[in-house]
Structure 1
């Protein structure tokens, strides 16, 4: 059962990474609900293709980190740092789920736009699940 949870966690990171690379390459599908907007409807920020590609690459690296820590992928000389990196990633995901108390996370004050609705229903809960899966892969209880 734990192998399934670790595999799903890693797979979700892969899907998110590939999705960001798709956007970086010019893809538009579901792009409108990926950026928070101000009250006037303007985007909070305009990510560059290079920045979006960097996020996609980082998400793929997160998938590899979870897979290494879970033993799904071999890592020659797997060092202790991978467990600490996994714990740091889990903490970052938890912070993302909590949010900035403005535009993202469970405790955001701005809402009503498509991003805010999806953030409450999908993005923030997904961050919590990814945090739990990442932490469990990095520091298994058994």
Structure 2
């Protein structure tokens, strides 16, 4: 199920890389004055989409949905690194995103509070469990 979620997140980034606009304002952190923190470039968005799709493939390999060319130790390391990344994402940068963000009034901040950070916490916990018990 987690692999499917990563696949959906990758597709969302593909949509944005192909110049889609729906949901984009809610996906980019904003400064105090409401301006976007950054303006994503098309190439960077493609790279992020590929990385997220790679996470999906990693998880499918880990649960043996199909054969992996990598040894189990490498897969376990990848799952645990992804778990750490998700926990760090949930903790945040102490300003724009995560549990301890200080900017709380923006489209992104609302989505981060109710969706992005909880998903990151849940994914981090599940990945940690998968990596340590699998």
TM more than 0.5: yes
Q: When the two structures are superposed, what TM-score results if normalisation uses the length of structure 1? A: 0.89
The runs of 5 or more residues in structure 1 that have no matched partner are 1-7
Deviation at 1:77, TM superposition (A): 5.0
The Cα offsets for residues 20-74 of structure 1, whole Å up to 9 and x where unpaired, read as 0110010111111011111111110111011011111100000011111122222
SS at match of 2:86: helix
Deviation for aligned residue 1:82 = 1.2
Question: Alpha-carbon deviation of 1:80?
Answer: 1.0
Whether contact under 8 Å (1:70, 1:137) holds in the other structure is no
Is residue 9 of structure 2 the alignment partner of residue 16 of structure 1?
A: yes
Q: CA RMSD in A?
A: 1.3
1:15 to partner: Cα distance: 0.1
**Dislocated runs of 4+, deviation >2 Å:** 76-79, 132-141
Residue of 29, 47, 69 corresponding to 1:36: 29
The number of aligned residues is 134
